[in-house]
């Protein structure tokens, strides 16, 4: 296949462009990654199905198609495209790791991406999202820095999870709690950390089902960025269990 | 002043719109904040100079101007404006607190905003930026959640800072270091944490001047988001000195 795809009406291009929308990502169980780093991570992880590239491709890949600038412009979701985009299979592993993060209505893609990256860093190998931004949103993928390929990403109701997994010790951040992170007993085999919406926190329904509520002590602010709060908690648990 | 400003040629509007650009923010020592929460924080902190609002203003303020929808659209920098924008004086306090954060070429506005928020939360009351995104960029302000009014924000060369402030014990993140955060002696009165660029880290020139290099231990990733890394370090220092 040495021909360059120049037509926006090309079927491969039309199908790939559709994956910018969550609806089609769900329908086809596919998603896009952009840039050398992420395409490489997808390749290594075994999820890469197709590549579209602008100039040259510096590694062999069967299903790679050179495209014109106008086609790349149609495919890209960033202002300064790197000229390489991959179509990937959604990872289908549904493993529940011993340490998990549960997201209740988290809406900022950058926050979710950052949390996935921190989760991979500190051994929280499953993330359950309820009513939150799509894991395969372009900004989530970008800010995860490839960690989406290292963590099980599951969409599920948190209430259902709680009823079906009573062996997990659950913790939830709650600005009104008097208990502090540093005083928590975190020595459990199976542990779940619930994080809530950027503006309104964790829903009452979920909060009522969680035995351990706590806050992170602060001096001069009312709340933290949810990506920061979650990461500080994960590091604390990782640190205590690792040494 | 009961008249609604409807003209984009109105001088007040033209001057305010200019503040979307860093050049004019620097020239006039003014910047814009948007939305009820941030306007309120600016008012409380004593930096609010002018308000432009769409419908009603639910508190008394001398220098408030009602504007038409088209004028608000011209002023706003977000997709879903809340209908209230304030012009603020840049805080001019140049206090060096005992605990400070130094940013070496940090480029993502969301990362800087998050770091300002965490710094206010954990008592790092001065942030020095070198070759980084403008503190008064709209996205920085928004993600700081008002913390820009609580922390001294200073633009300065980090190399100059190091030569002029030898009483500060400086620490820098370095992925190649063998020393870990948890093993650091952090018990100093004056402490500075240096954080680097999202892609390339801290510049060699700065790194060579810093006595204490360390990494944050990770399991399954090569690096962390810089906002997360900085926040985890600040919390660690806050926690150890607070109790």
CA distance A173 to chain B (A): 16
Average pLDDT over residues B36-55: 95
Taking the CA of residue B30 and the nearest CA in chain A, the distance in Å comes to 24
Query: Is the pLDDT reported for residue A72 higher than 60?
Result: yes
Q: Answer whether residue A2 shows pLDDT above 70.
A: no
Q: What is the ipTM of this complex?
A: 0.93
Nearest CA in chain B to A221: B121
Indicate if the pLDDT at residue B30 is higher than 60. yes
Residues A94, A35: contact at Cβ < 8 Å? no
Whether the CB-CB separation of B235 and A228 falls below 8 Å is answered with no
Q: Which of A207, A227, A102 is nearest to A153 (CA)?
A: A102
Closest among B47, B139, B60, B152 to B102, alpha carbons compared: B152
A221 to B147: CB separation less than 8 angstroms, yes or no: yes
Averaged pLDDT score across all residues of chain A: 95
Write down the pLDDT at residue A94. Answer: 76
Nearest in space to A135 (alpha carbons), one of A121, A154, A159: A154
φ/ψ of A62, rounded to 5, equals -55, -50
Query: What confidence tens digit (pLDDT) does each residue in A181-220 have?
Result: 999 999 999 999 999 999 999 999 999 999 999 999 999 8
Query: How does pLDDT run across B70-100, given as a tens digit for each residue?
Result: 999 999 999 889 999 999 999 876 789 999 9
The per-residue pLDDT for range B206-243, each reduced to its tens digit, is: 999 999 999 999 998 999 999 999 999 999 999 988 75
> Any CB–CB contact under 8 A between A95 and chain B?
no
User: B44: exposed, middle or buried (C-beta count within 10 Å: 0-12, 13-18, 19+)?
Assistant: exposed
Give CA–CA dist B10/B30, Å, rounded: 18
Q: What is the 3-state secondary structure (H, E, C) of chain B?
A: CCCCECCCCCHHHHHHHHCCCHHHHHHHCEEEEECHHHHHHHHHHCCEEEEEECCCCCCCCCCEEEECHHHHHHHCCCCCCCCEEEEEECCCCCCCCCEEEEEECCCCHHHHHHHHHHHHHCCCCEEEEECCCCCCCHHHHHHHCCHHHCCEEEECCHHHHHHHCCCCEEEEECCCCCCEHHHCCCCCCCEEEEEEECCCECCHHHHCCCCEEEECCCCCCCCCCHHHHHHHHHHHHHHHHHC
Residue A6 main-chain phi, psi, to 5 deg: -115, -15
Rounded CA-CA distance B120/B125 in Å is 6
Average pLDDT over residues B8-35: 97
Angle between helices B109-121 and B226-242 (to 10 degrees): 10
- List CB contacts of A197: < 8 A, sequence separation 6 or more: A104, A105, A106, A107, A203, A226
Tokens 């004086």 belong to residue:
B89
Q: Closest to B221 (Cβ–Cβ): which among A120, A143, A220? A: A120
Contact residues on chain A for B117, CB-CB shorter than 8 A: 221, 224-225, 228
Contact B227 A225 (CB under 8 A): yes
Distance from CA of B9 to the nearest CA of A (A): 31
């Amino acid at each position: 296949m040495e021909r360059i795809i120049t037509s926006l009406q090309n079927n491969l291009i039309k199908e790939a462009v559709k994956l910018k929308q969550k609806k089609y990502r769900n329908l086809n169980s596919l998603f896009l990654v952009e840039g050398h780093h992420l395409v490489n991570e997808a390749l290594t992880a075994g999820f890469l199905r197709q590549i579209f590239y602008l100039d040259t491709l510096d590694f062999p890949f069967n299903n790679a198609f050179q495209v014109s600038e106008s086609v790349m412009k149609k495919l890209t979701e960033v202002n300064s495209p790197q000229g390489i985009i991959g179509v990937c299979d959604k990872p289908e592993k549904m493993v529940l790791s011993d340490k998990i993060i549960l997201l209740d209505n988290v809406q900022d893609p950058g926050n979710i991406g950052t949390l996935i990256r921190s989760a991979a860093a500190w051994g929280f190998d499953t993330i359950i999202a309820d009513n939150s931004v799509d894991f395969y949103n372009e900004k989530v993928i970008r800010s995860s820095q490839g960690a989406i390929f290292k963590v099980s990403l599951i969409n599920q109701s948190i209430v259902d999870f709680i009823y079906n997994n009573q062996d997990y010790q659950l913790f939830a951040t709650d600005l009104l709690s008097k208990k502090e992170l540093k005083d928590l007993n975190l020595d459990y085999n199976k542990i779940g950390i619930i994080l809530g919406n950027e503006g309104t926190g964790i829903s009452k329904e979920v909060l009522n089902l969680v035995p351990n509520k706590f806050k992170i002590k602060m001096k001069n602010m009312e709340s933290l960025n949810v990506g920061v709060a979650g990461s500080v908690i994960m590091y604390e648990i990782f640190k205590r269990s690792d040494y």
